[in-house]
Amino acid sequence: MMTTADIIRKVRELEIKSRKLSNDLFKGEYHSAFKGRGMSFKEVREYQPGDDIRFIDWNVSARFSHPFSKVFEEERELTVLLLVDVSSSALFGTHAQRKKDVITEVAAVLTFSAINNNDKVGVIFFSDKVEKYVPPRKGRQHALYIVREMLTASPQRKGTRITEAVRYLNNSCKQKSIAFLLSDFLDESYEDALRVASSKHDLIGIKAYDRMDMILPDVGLLEVEDAETGSVAYVDTSSPFVRKEYEEQFHRYNDECKQIFLRAGSDLLHIGTGEDYVKVLQKFFAHRNRR
């Protein structure tokens, strides 16, 4: 259990790290990776060869007996929604970090990147139900509040139900938003809800995983407990067949997640505990900018 002093220190650490990353590495990439809601009128100027004749301002042109064109600019203000998995399975981690720590750091970086771009940010915390909703707002204090909530989240339930969070997104946010879904995706039957959300919002999945989710150590008979259901099982990790089947099952499930997002027309990123998530995010932003 974190003390108040621990929380304040951790919030400050995440703010410094996230603001540095969003200022030094992601400011340009984030700004250009996501498009605004539309175009707004900026000014009129003298007509130039190549201007679209549909944008000629006939009233101004008549007044000055010379053609003038309307100039528009993209509306940059965006609404960013973070859907953050706070289920018990996110507490697992064997490589310097838990999956929850990865999710929290990435969410903090995205929060400060949005705030630095003068965008609104909100959060939907979910387990197998929506645990808490923080409506989108601007400003540093709001960003710090979000980070504190992520660090101190105490869910009432242990399970994971992605459909509940995605449906809540559709119902609570009427305008098109940038939605980041951060989870280990240990769930099923969420494809339909994801497809509906992706048709309305720009939705990006970020899948956190631990090395032991993929590879079992050879340590003999191992007692394992499902963090969400409490069920206990024994696994013979000394068996090469068991270890091979375990790893293949992880890759099959990963491929299934990729296909679900692909069919929904959305992106899915994979970030492991202890991995340099900065490189993953930079690669994603660069890819978005080339589209």
Domains of the chain (ranges; CATH) run 4-32+76-289 (3.40.50.410), 39-74 (no CATH)
Region 140-149: mean pLDDT is 93
Distances (CA, A) of 150 to 38, 132, 143, 215: 32, 11, 11, 28
Element housing 234 (H / E):
strand 232-236
Give the CA radius of gyration of the chain: 23
pLDDT category of residue 175 using cuts at 50, 70 and 90: confident
Which pLDDT tens digit goes with each residue over 240-272?
999 999 999 999 999 999 999 999 999 999 999
**For residue 190, which of 263, 132, 123, 246 has the smallest C-alpha distance?**
263
The C-alpha atoms of residue 140 and residue 109 are separated, in whole angstroms, by 13
Q: At 209, is the pLDDT very low, low, confident or very high (cuts 50, 70, 90)?
A: very high
Higher pLDDT, 215 or 17: 215
pLDDT in tens, 93-136: 887 789 999 999 999 999 988 888 888 999 999 999 999 999 99
Task: Report the predicted TM-score, pTM, of the whole model to 2 decimal places.
Answer: 0.82
* Residue linked to tokens 């929290």: 104
- For strands 178-183 and 267-272, give the pairing: unpaired
**Which residues is 122 bridged to in the sheet?**
81
